[in-house]
């Protein structure tokens, strides 16, 4: 089979192009695409557990733990004991992460425009549906 007919190649090479662009743009703010995912969870849901972050982003627990460790070291998040469950941890955003929210959201909008601009609105709906369907096949 020609590599360009392999779904793994097509998804990986597409993801690589988007990831490189996104990484470069986010580097100005000292965050990675993975850290953006965590910040987006916090911006959308407020204080949240690491397990909920893992569920939303479809990541392994060890991956989330490593991302959170680096983010806490860089003062982008805080972790504390859940007031309602002393055995649970809650992740919160910091003033530093709140301060970059609008700028980072502009980057996300520009990225979406750059990579989706060649497509019609109908094609964009199809692309999103296909990618969501594939990501939910686990």
Mean pLDDT of 85-108: 94
Over 80: is that where the pLDDT of 138 sits? Answer: no
Q: What CATH fold (topology level) applies to the domain 3-135?
A: Arc Repressor Mutant, subunit A (1.10.10)
The per-residue pLDDT for range 30-54, each reduced to its tens digit, is: 999 999 999 999 999 999 999 999 9
How confident is residue 87, by pLDDT bands cut at 50, 70 and 90?
A: confident
- The first and second tokens of residue 48, run together, are 């949240």
Mean pLDDT of 18-29: 97
Distance CA 127, CA 109 (A): 17
What is the pLDDT, as a whole number, of residue 133? 94
């Amino acid at each position: 089979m020609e590599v360009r007919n392999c779904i793994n190649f097509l998804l990986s090479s597409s993801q690589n192009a988007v990831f490189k662009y996104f990484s470069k743009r986010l580097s100005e703010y000292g965050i990675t695409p993975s850290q953006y995912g965590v910040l987006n969870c916090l911006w959308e849901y407020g204080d949240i557990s690491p397990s909920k972050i893992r569920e939303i982003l479809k990541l392994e627990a060890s991956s989330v733990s490593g991302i959170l460790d680096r983010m806490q070291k860089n003062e982008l998040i805080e972790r504390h004991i859940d007031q309602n469950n002393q055995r649970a941890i809650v992740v919160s955003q910091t003033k530093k992460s709140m301060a970059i929210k609008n700028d980072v959201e502009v980057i996300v909008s520009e990225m979406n425009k750059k990579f989706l601009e060649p497509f019609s609105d109908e094609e964009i709906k199809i692309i999103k549906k296909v990618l969501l369907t594939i990501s939910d096949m686990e």
